[in-house]
Copies of this chain bind each other. A is one copy, B any other.
């Protein structure tokens, strides 16, 4: 009896917190609207409507419009960083496979949410915050380590500047995803992925 009472009490408590996670709904909606119109032309009222909440509700979960964008990227980079770490610590993969894994990772994330690619390509650098940038750099540095490891193992070309390589590949991938998100029928994603890996690998591999 006592347990039952306590349980029903807990249930009562939980019912007060929203069932459908409104915060996630808003973030999802914001990504879509940001992708469609760009950060500046995205109206809070439209994000709210698209999320199925009232305009004011946005401000229960986010301090302002800027934080909305920042949180999108914080979440994104954190997720990417965690999954990259999982790849990095695997011992059953060689450096080439790890690099391919990293590219797959990026493609998988953005395949699940194409709008994110558009928002990243158009609005990230202009509107990022210190916190979001921190997460971004942590992720990028983990990526760099993967390359450095490959260089040390004499699999990747040591003459390539890692920082430049990273910016080049990131820009290329981001642009490809951006174009794909805007016009997915022009080329299938798996074709992009294969071509990309080929270009990246043949570029970095030591040619015998």
**Contact surface of A with B, Cβ cutoff 8 Å:** 1-2, 5-6, 9, 38, 40-41, 96, 99, 121-122, 125-126, 147, 150, 154-157, 159-161, 163-165, 167-176, 178-179, 186-187, 191-192, 195-196, 198-207
Other A-B pairs, 12, CB within 8 Å; known A40-B40, A40-B41, A160-B204: A122-B125, A160-B195, A160-B198, A168-B172, A171-B176, A175-B175, A199-B204, A200-B203, A201-B203, A201-B204, A202-B202, A202-B207
Enumerate chain B residues within 8 angstroms of A161, measured Cβ to Cβ. 187, 191-192, 195
CA–CA, A62 to B155, complex, Å?
Answer: 54
Determine if B6 and A178 form an interchain contact, defined as CB atoms under 8 angstroms apart.
no
CA distance A198 to B156 in the complex (A): 13
Selected from B175, B195, B200, the residue in CB contact (under 8 A) with A174 is B175
Copy tally for this chain in the complex stands at: 4
For this complex, 6 residue pairs linking A to B, each with C-beta atoms less than 8 Å apart, are A2-B6, A156-B206, A161-B191, A161-B195, A171-B174, A201-B203
Shortest Cβ gap from A3 to chain B (Å)? 10
- CA separation between A5 and B4, bound complex, in Å? 13
Are A125 and B168 in contact (CB-based, < 8 A)? no
B178–A163 contact, CB under 8 A? no
What residues on B are CB-neighbors of A206 within 8 Å? 154-157
**CA separation between A171 and B200, bound complex, in Å?**
13
Known: A164-B192, A165-B204, A205-B202. A38 touches B171 (CB 8 A): no
Among B163, B191, B195, B204, point to the contact of A200 (Cβ < 8 A): B204
B125 in contact with A178 (CB, 8 Å): yes
Residue in chain B with minimal CB distance to A164 = B195
